[in-house]
Structure 1
Amino acid sequence: MDRQIPDRKTSDRLVLVGRFGAPHGVRGELRLQSFTENPAAISSYGPLTDRAGAKAFSILAARAVKPALFVVKLKGVDDRTAAETLTNVEVFVAREKLPEVAADEFYLADLIGLEALDVARAPFGRVKNVLDFGAGDILEIEPVGGGETLLLPFTRQVAPEIDLAAGYIVIDPPAERAAPAFLQDDDTEAAASPPPSAS
Structure 2
Amino acid sequence: MSGSEIVVLGRLADPYGIRGWLRLHPFGDDPLAWAEMPVWWIGREGGPWREVGLKGLKAHGDGIVVLLDEVPDRTAAEALKGTLVGAPREMLPPPADDEFYWGDLVGLVVVNEADETLGTVAGLIETGANDVLRVVAEDGTERLLPFVEAVVLTVEKEAGRIRVAWGSDW
TM over 0.5: yes
What amino acid sits opposite 2:169 in the alignment? A
Deviations 1:166-199, CA, capped at 9 Å, x for gaps: 21101221x5xx337xxxxxxxxxxxxxxxxxxx
Aligned equivalent of 1:38? 30
Q: Calculate the aligned-residue CA RMSD, in Å.
A: 3.0
Distance 1:63 1:133 in 2: 23
- The structure in which a higher percent of residues are strand is 2
Report the 3-state secondary structure (helix = DSSP H, G, I; strand = E; otherwise coil) of the residue aligned with 2:121: strand
Distance 2:130 2:99 in 1: 18
Distance 2:79 2:140 in 1: 37
The answer on whether the counterparts of 1:10 and 1:95 sit within 8 Å (CA) in structure 2 is no
Distance 2:72 2:110 in 1: 46
1:114 Cα shift? 0.6
The answer on whether the counterparts of 2:40 and 2:85 sit within 8 Å (CA) in structure 1 is no
- The structure in which a higher percent of residues are helix is 1
TM-score, normalising length: structure 1: 0.66
Aligned equivalent of 2:104? 110
1:39 Cα shift? 2.4
1:89 maps to which of 82, 85, 92: 82
Distance 1:148 1:50 in 2: 29
* Number of residue pairs the alignment of both structures matches: 164
TM-score, normalising length: structure 2: 0.75
The answer on whether the counterparts of 1:19 and 1:89 sit within 8 Å (CA) in structure 2 is yes
Larger Rg: 1
The answer on whether the counterparts of 1:130 and 1:139 sit within 8 Å (CA) in structure 2 is yes
User: Which runs of 5 or more structure 1 residues have no equivalent in the other structure?
Assistant: 1-8, 181-199
1:46 Cα shift? 2.3
1:79 paired to 2:73: yes
Aligned-pair identity in percent equals 28
Aligned equivalent of 2:162? 169
Aligned equivalent of 2:141? 148
2:65 maps to which of 70, 81, 86: 70
1:94 Cα shift? 4.0
The answer on whether the counterparts of 1:23 and 1:84 sit within 8 Å (CA) in structure 2 is no
User: Which runs of 5 or more structure 2 residues have no equivalent in the other structure?
Assistant: none
